[in-house]
Chains A and B, each alone.
Chain A
Amino acid sequence: SAPAGAASGASNSQSRNAILVSRRQQGNPVLKFIRNVRWTFDDIVPDYVLGQSSCALYLSIRYHLLHPDYLYFRIRELQKNFRLRVVLCYVDEDVIKPLHEVTKTALLHDCSLLCAWSLEECARYLETIKMYENKPADNIQERTDQDYLSRLTSALTSVRHINKTDVVTLGSTFGSMASVMSASMEDLARCPGIGERKVKRLYDAFHEPFRRTSKQLRLSSVGIKPIQEAPK
């Protein structure tokens, strides 16, 4: 079989900015929905070439049901010519077994499986991967340029059940993060909307040590008691 279509197909500058589509895909309704990026037919091994080193194979669950071995042979054809090998699966049937087979085949043969539930979504994956070819990962990385309130929210909401309103309440009551952290249980309880449980959770988060230690001390203080003796 022919080596990677990417290099040979990209000979003219025009096709470098376009998705290359294998002639096998002729008649695939997904093509109608590729609108944000240009695409051209080309003689390539994968179904779609989405960049210098990315390609995609297209498969629908229904097709897989008819031709269970198809995917495996297509993946084998790809050889090792692409860094990113996407299997784009159009989930047109909500059945579990064929999807499992597709998943397993993709996973064991070094392909990233992307599932889409509409032709529009399939097309959008193709477009986006092409468009984002050289895009940094900022969008999915932790952002550092946050404003004060979002940072405060992000920190305090790590305590379960604390919501944004509670964050504003805590902030406006105590004035700063440091004072929130050193607030007494009573002070926390006096904030509107902060119930008993939230108070306890907050207080524990602030005052319980990061690492739980000194086992002996705890053992002797609690001991093992039968139920009826425990409550005061």
Chain B
Amino acid sequence: MSQLVIEMILKLGEFTAAERAEMYSKGGAFLVTSRILVVDMLNERVPFHKVAGIIVNNSHRMTETCAEAFIVRLYRSKNKAGYVRGISDQARGLTSGFMKMERVMKSLLVKKLNLWPRFHLSIATALEESPPDVVDIRVPLTPSMLAIQNAILEVMDACLKELRKTNKVDVEDLTVENGLFKSFDEIVRMQLDPIWHTIGRKTKRLVADLKTLRKLAEYLIRYDAVTFLKYLDTVRASEGVKSVWVFAGPAHRIFELAKRRVYQIVRTDGEQVESVVKQASRAGVELEVVAEEMPKWKVYKEILEEIQQEIQSRPADLPEDSWKSEARVLVACKDERTAWQLQRFILKGPEELMREEWNNYLLAKAELHGMTLRDKKKSRSKPQAQPQRKGKRKKRPDNTEQQVSEEPVIPLQNTGATDMSLEDVGASSLVPPVQYYALESDQYRILDTTGPSYVIVYDPDMKFVREMEVFKAKHPQRRLKVYFLFYEESTEGKKFEASIQRETTAFETLIRQKASMIIPVDQVSIQIIGYAFVYSWVGVLQTLDVPSPQAPNSVSSRKAGGRKNMEKHMQIVVDMREFSSSLPCVLHQQGMRILPVTLEVGDYVLSPEICVERKSIADLYASFSSGRLYHQAETMTRYYRLPVLLIEFSQDKSFSLQSANEVGDDIVPANIVSKMSLLVLHFPRLRIVWSRSLHATAELFATLKSNQDEPDAERAMRVGVPTEDGLIEGDVRAENYNTTAVEMLRRLPGVTDANYRTIMDGCKSLAELSIMPFEQLAELMGGQRPARMLRDFLDAKFPTL
């Protein structure tokens, strides 16, 4: 589903406003990002009366002030008959936080909630009628992997203990178990956010460290030994000095073991040397490449061979042709990278694969260059214990007669290594052709499009399990055999089991909540027939018969409608980029007219004189250190009589920049007070507005606008935009720019406010820029010096780690 959405979104985003308006009026189904849709609705490009309904995806993310809620409200105010549906497959997302479900439903303006948990009777029976054949394979971790995993968990535990000591967080949720989940960050952040600006650097660091450690635990079982080491190196290089965990005792073990899984430095007499030896003492020392293989690889290979045998000995009751076409193998793994590696593993064998990874690694490691390689064949550690198989498992068919396969087969290259991990290379050197599926790519209905008979789940994933169940239920006559590969005693298995448990619990909570849910009729001021669905997987909804809504006959106008008309309709010009924030929505709630345009200067224009640059606290810090704020203050002051810097706090965070003890004894340049002081000294005309929350900002805007003229959108748009090149006129919008690319371009050395436009004129994309010769750059950038700076930067060799 999301695959489709992404495709369409990207494409719709590329259209200009006029094109979109035309498309809307032609009709059809549209998948639009909320940011674009809000803007189109506000500019009245959407023919409201023609829109039959709106479906909001991922509705568990809704809040009262988010863009989607804004859309629903805009739609409702113009069209009372259409339907609104919210869909979510994240039961957990709807249970986190206070009254989350009610709030989501309120912001969707819907009254009815449908829950479709896996344990729902009708769903359970439908799915369990003809369940797929499941083989559950537990692969033991290698001793070194296990040791690294334990070390990571130990460091995590140590970090958690430290975090507890700070007395800033609730201890109960802080377990290593929870720490393995992404949602752990949320738990911690939710507790720390209200006091984030008052907590010490060390606590912040700990939170970041826990995130890193969680990733390490994940990558340990996902990446091969060499890649994992490479990643460790990068982590150490990029955040080593600042992090706390690197200095913890077990952390040393992580690094040491990870290294030893890949290479060892050995004396010629065979003794081991601890650390890396300097150039001078290299004599008598050599490098032994160990490059441990991933335990799953071997099992994976075996499964493929087993499948191949099964395919060749097709069941008697099936005609050959249909069996051949049906016997497809799908391998589900975490990402493109894993898929690519597994493919190479099958093609080249583990030895060659690891050699390639190793060579790759060497490129970035200068210190290991030039060391003599030790002949490794004899000293290699032997493969680990045989994996044990659990669950029901069919005996391997005895019929092994070799058939000439018509399917394209991938021949195995024997690399000549004596200790290839395949004992039975001779017996069946053929593996069936397989299709890889990266779970991360989230492809739309992959199972329907490939129609496999065999699925190997290389990386277990709950969502995919659900998809398989539905697929099997839809095709009960099909054969479907599923192999699950788990690492035994690993975080992977734990995570999988816990994720199922969590979902069940979430649904139980939702069911309880639904029973006692109160929907205040007077809050939802329009009579609405709408639904919110929570379903635990993708397939079911597609076959659901959704009753079509009837047009409600009692339509009450918005309560505030009458009162607001008393005042003159206030207008505010809002920069397009601000629509990712909630303020435009809140302003609209206040009864103001929002004019979305692209502003070169400022974020909001309240009147011909007042221009506002809005900064959240995080933005404020970031833009001080990047120098962006200085620049923005400069341009605002140049073009407006009342340039305003709005510092907006968050309602649920503390209302202060720092606590009294953080002020310190001395004047420190890095302190926010010093920066604010410099700002007011250099821009005495810049007005500073401190707002407690979003809603406070909206009120403030209303106050500031009284006695002021209404702003002119056309004029606001032209402010600060150079017109001499004739390019920038009314029709050019932010949506016509690749904003990320432009931002990156402007951050490159040599690129300035003065020359980035000419660069964009003379060069299509960053990729093109990267290969542009110096002379051409000099011409575009208006000088040799900036061009030299840019070219040098682009070509500079990245320092080896």
A interface with B by C-beta (< 8 Å): 35-36, 54, 83-86, 91, 94, 96, 99-100, 103-104, 106-107, 110-121, 124-125, 127-129, 131-133, 135, 137, 139-144, 148-149, 151-152, 154-156, 158-160, 163-165, 167-169, 171-179, 181-182, 186, 189-190, 192-193, 195-197, 199, 201, 204-213, 215, 218-219, 222, 224-227, 230-232
Neighbouring A residues of B15 by C-beta, 8 Å? 215, 218-219
- Least Cβ distance of B734 to chain A in Å? 10
CB atoms of A107 and B687 under 8 A apart: yes
Given A99-B692, A172-B801, A206-B765, A140–B630 Cβ distance below 8 Å?
yes
CB atoms of A208 and B765 under 8 A apart: yes
CB atoms of B740 and A148 under 8 A apart: no
Contact with A along B724-743 (1 / 0, CB 8 A): 00000000000111101111
Residue among A85, A100, A106 with most chain B CB within 10 A:
A100
Pick the residue among B235, B335, B363 that contacts A189 (CB under 8 A). B335
CB atoms of B737 and A211 under 8 A apart: yes
CB atoms of B740 and A158 under 8 A apart: yes
CB atoms of B231 and A140 under 8 A apart: no
Neighbouring A residues of B629 by C-beta, 8 Å? 140
CB atoms of B765 and A103 under 8 A apart: no
- Does residue B121 face the partner (Cβ distance < 8 Å to A)? no
- Does residue B248 face the partner (Cβ distance < 8 Å to A)? no
Number of A-B contacts (CB under 8 A): 290
- Least Cβ distance of A133 to chain B in Å? 7
Given A96-B696, A158-B744, A165-B234, A209–B765 Cβ distance below 8 Å?
yes
Complex Cα distance, B82 from A38, in Å, reads 70
We find that the number of chain B residues with CB closer than 8 angstroms to chain A is 115
Neighbouring B residues of A189 by C-beta, 8 Å? 335-337, 340
Given A139-B674, A158-B744, A169–B684 Cβ distance below 8 Å?
no
Quick one: closest A residue to B692, CB to CB? A96
Neighbouring B residues of A149 by C-beta, 8 Å? 799
Query: Which of B104-112, B156-164, B436-444 faces chain A?
Result: B436-444
Given A209-B764, A210-B741, A226–B29 Cβ distance below 8 Å?
yes
CB atoms of A36 and B667 under 8 A apart: yes
Contact with A along B652-693 (1 / 0, CB 8 A): 000111111001011101010111111111101111111011
- Least Cβ distance of A73 to chain B in Å? 20
Given A54-B681, A128-B667, A155-B744, A113–B797 Cβ distance below 8 Å?
no
Q: Can you pick out 18 interface pairs between chain A and chain B where the beta carbons lie within 8 Å of each other?
A: A36-B666, A113-B687, A114-B680, A117-B656, A118-B659, A139-B674, A140-B624, A140-B678, A140-B682, A148-B796, A155-B747, A164-B238, A177-B796, A204-B741, A211-B738, A212-B736, A225-B28, A227-B29
CB atoms of B231 and A193 under 8 A apart: yes
Given A165-B239, A208-B765, A209-B765, A128–B795 Cβ distance below 8 Å?
no
- Least Cβ distance of A121 to chain B in Å? 5
- Does residue B529 face the partner (Cβ distance < 8 Å to A)? no
CB atoms of A208 and B741 under 8 A apart: yes
Known: A86-B680, A155-B748. 5 other contacts (CB 8 A): A175-B363, A178-B771, A205-B766, A210-B737, A212-B737
Pick the residue among B665, B692, B770 that contacts A94 (CB under 8 A). B692
- Does residue B8 face the partner (Cβ distance < 8 Å to A)? yes
Pick the residue among B449, B627, B663, B676 that contacts A118 (CB under 8 A). B663
Complex Cα distance, B239 from A149, in Å, reads 12
Given A84-B684, A107-B642, A128–B799 Cβ distance below 8 Å?
no
Pick the residue among B215, B630, B666 that contacts A142 (CB under 8 A). B630
- Does residue B272 face the partner (Cβ distance < 8 Å to A)? no
Pick the residue among A84, A195, A225 that contacts B440 (CB under 8 A). A195
CB atoms of A212 and B14 under 8 A apart: yes
Given A113-B687, A117-B656, A140-B624, A128–B737 Cβ distance below 8 Å?
no
Neighbouring A residues of B742 by C-beta, 8 Å? 210
**Is the contact region of chain B dominated by helix, strand, or loop, or is it mixed?**
helix
Query: Which of B144-152, B169-177, B697-705 faces chain A?
Result: B697-705
- Least Cβ distance of B762 to chain A in Å? 10
Complex Cα distance, B429 from A172, in Å, reads 37
7 tightest A-B CB contacts, nearest first: A142-B627, A117-B656, A118-B660, A181-B770, A171-B798, A84-B684, A128-B677
- Does residue B314 face the partner (Cβ distance < 8 Å to A)? no
Neighbouring B residues of A226 by C-beta, 8 Å? 28-29
- Least Cβ distance of B522 to chain A in Å? 26
- Does residue B523 face the partner (Cβ distance < 8 Å to A)? no
- Least Cβ distance of B605 to chain A in Å? 15
CB atoms of B665 and A83 under 8 A apart: no
Neighbouring A residues of B7 by C-beta, 8 Å? 230-231
Complex Cα distance, B699 from A96, in Å, reads 10
Complex Cα distance, B688 from A106, in Å, reads 9
- Does residue B769 face the partner (Cβ distance < 8 Å to A)? yes
CB atoms of B666 and A114 under 8 A apart: no
- Least Cβ distance of A132 to chain B in Å? 5
CB atoms of A177 and B679 under 8 A apart: no
Neighbouring A residues of B219 by C-beta, 8 Å? 192-193
Neighbouring A residues of B692 by C-beta, 8 Å? 94, 96, 99
Complex Cα distance, B761 from A84, in Å, reads 42
Quick one: closest A residue to B198, CB to CB? A117
Complex Cα distance, B669 from A128, in Å, reads 9
CB atoms of A206 and B741 under 8 A apart: yes
Neighbouring A residues of B8 by C-beta, 8 Å? 230
CB atoms of A208 and B336 under 8 A apart: no
CB atoms of B680 and A120 under 8 A apart: no
Pick the residue among B363, B678, B794 that contacts A132 (CB under 8 A). B678
- Does residue B227 face the partner (Cβ distance < 8 Å to A)? yes
Given A155-B748, A158-B747, A215–B19 Cβ distance below 8 Å?
yes
Complex Cα distance, B690 from A104, in Å, reads 11
Neighbouring A residues of B684 by C-beta, 8 Å? 54, 83-85, 112
- Does residue B626 face the partner (Cβ distance < 8 Å to A)? yes
Quick one: closest B residue to A172, CB to CB? B364
CB atoms of B644 and A135 under 8 A apart: no
Pick the residue among B31, B655, B663, B665 that contacts A121 (CB under 8 A). B663
CB atoms of A210 and B760 under 8 A apart: yes
Pick the residue among B16, B237, B699 that contacts A215 (CB under 8 A). B16
CB atoms of B337 and A190 under 8 A apart: yes
Complex Cα distance, B682 from A54, in Å, reads 11
- Does residue B532 face the partner (Cβ distance < 8 Å to A)? no
- Least Cβ distance of B611 to chain A in Å? 12
Given A189-B336, A212-B737, A120–B770 Cβ distance below 8 Å?
no
- Least Cβ distance of B747 to chain A in Å? 5
- Does residue B26 face the partner (Cβ distance < 8 Å to A)? yes
Quick one: closest B residue to A227, CB to CB? B29
Complex Cα distance, B444 from A144, in Å, reads 46
- Does residue B745 face the partner (Cβ distance < 8 Å to A)? yes
CB atoms of B231 and A103 under 8 A apart: no
CB atoms of A121 and B658 under 8 A apart: yes
CB atoms of A178 and B663 under 8 A apart: no
Complex Cα distance, B237 from A140, in Å, reads 27
Pick the residue among A106, A142, A211, A212 that contacts B628 (CB under 8 A). A142
Complex Cα distance, B15 from A219, in Å, reads 8
- Does residue B551 face the partner (Cβ distance < 8 Å to A)? no
- Does residue B223 face the partner (Cβ distance < 8 Å to A)? yes
- Least Cβ distance of B557 to chain A in Å? 29
CB atoms of A168 and B234 under 8 A apart: yes
- Does residue B47 face the partner (Cβ distance < 8 Å to A)? no
Residue among B441, B449, B644 with most chain A CB within 10 A:
B441
Quick one: closest B residue to A120, CB to CB? B663
Quick one: closest A residue to B610, CB to CB? A107
Complex Cα distance, B645 from A115, in Å, reads 13
Neighbouring B residues of A192 by C-beta, 8 Å? 219, 223, 227-228, 230-231, 234, 337
Given A36-B667, A84-B680, A196-B438, A178–B675 Cβ distance below 8 Å?
no
Neighbouring A residues of B31 by C-beta, 8 Å? 227
Complex Cα distance, B745 from A175, in Å, reads 19
Complex Cα distance, B735 from A152, in Å, reads 26
Given A107-B687, A172-B800, A139–B675 Cβ distance below 8 Å?
yes
CB atoms of A205 and B740 under 8 A apart: yes
